[in-house]
Amino acid sequence: MQDRRKWLSQMLVGACQISAGSFLAIGGTSITQAQSKKIAGPNAKEAQKNPPWEILFLPPRQRKVGVQALPEKSPIKLVKTLNLSGPAKGHPHLLGEFAINGEFGILNNLLSRVTGANAAIEIGSAHQFELEGMMQAEGTGGWFFLLGWKDGSGHVLFQIGTRTSGSPWFHCVFKEGAAEKDSHVEFGRMEWKGSLPVSLVVKNQAASLKVGTLQLAQNLPLRDYSEGGIVIGTYDTQYGPRNLQIQSLRLRKFAEE
């Protein structure tokens, strides 16, 4: 178990050159302790360019079998109500009519959907940010990110997995819970193999998404983007929802330039 945690930590912190040991130390503290204190003086500008990370999820040190609820003090919150009218109503695979009917929890030490098919978690609220994690999303079904989400409006990045399509990724703009006409575009394809590092950066009204070594999107324009919630979820398809399993997750927010 200790070796596995060390490996997860090393995969996550490479971009910031933080040692695996320090990352594990953060994982062993409370969320409040994990957040760095505000920096003043000559290092303030550098801290704005390279803000501290907030650890959102690490697998418990003691392996537990079965389903556990998210801790009450977790920064990750269950989304209880979410209704979407996607760009492809009635399509067997693309995001169509969506309403929450399930929820996330911790399953065998991994952050996963544990009931239902349409489930979501809110991991924070930000304008400009970077999100990193280790995820496993093999197989068929759909899942998504909501970005800048507020009152049913924002941007959606979603992936479908079918037996023949090559698992495309799409971007769509939502207003008041419905997809805007002609805003639905494909921006990449990938077949998920095993656990992979995921990096999502939203900065200067654009999104960059990297999974493993594949740069799926680089500065994808986010029209009329503004600060809002960051949501991860799964949705039902002809083959069911995606079996998304999150091994670790962290977030940092950039100051306005």
Give the closest residue to 247 by CA, choosing from 136, 145, 142.
Answer: 136
Higher pLDDT, 21 or 69: 69
| pLDDT value of residue 144 | 97
Structural Rg of the chain based on CA atoms: 18
Residue-wise pLDDT for 16-34, tens only, equals 333 333 333 333 333 333 3
If you average pLDDT over residues 71-92, what whole number do you get?
Answer: 91
E strand or H helix at 34: helix 31-34
Q: Is 43 helix (H, G, I), strand (E, B) or coil?
A: helix
* Number of other residues whose CB lies within 10 A of the CB of residue 150: 12
Mean pLDDT of all residues belonging to the chain: 84
If you average pLDDT over residues 49-65, what whole number do you get?
Answer: 88
| pLDDT value of residue 43 | 59
Residue-wise pLDDT for 176-220, tens only, equals 999 998 899 999 999 899 999 999 999 999 999 999 999 999 999
Question: CA 124, CA 126: separation in Å to the nearest integer?
Answer: 7
Provide the token pair at 4. Answer: 């596995």
Domains of the chain, residue spans: 68-254
Share of the chain above pLDDT 90, in %: 67
- Give the CATH number of domain 68-254: 2.60.120.560
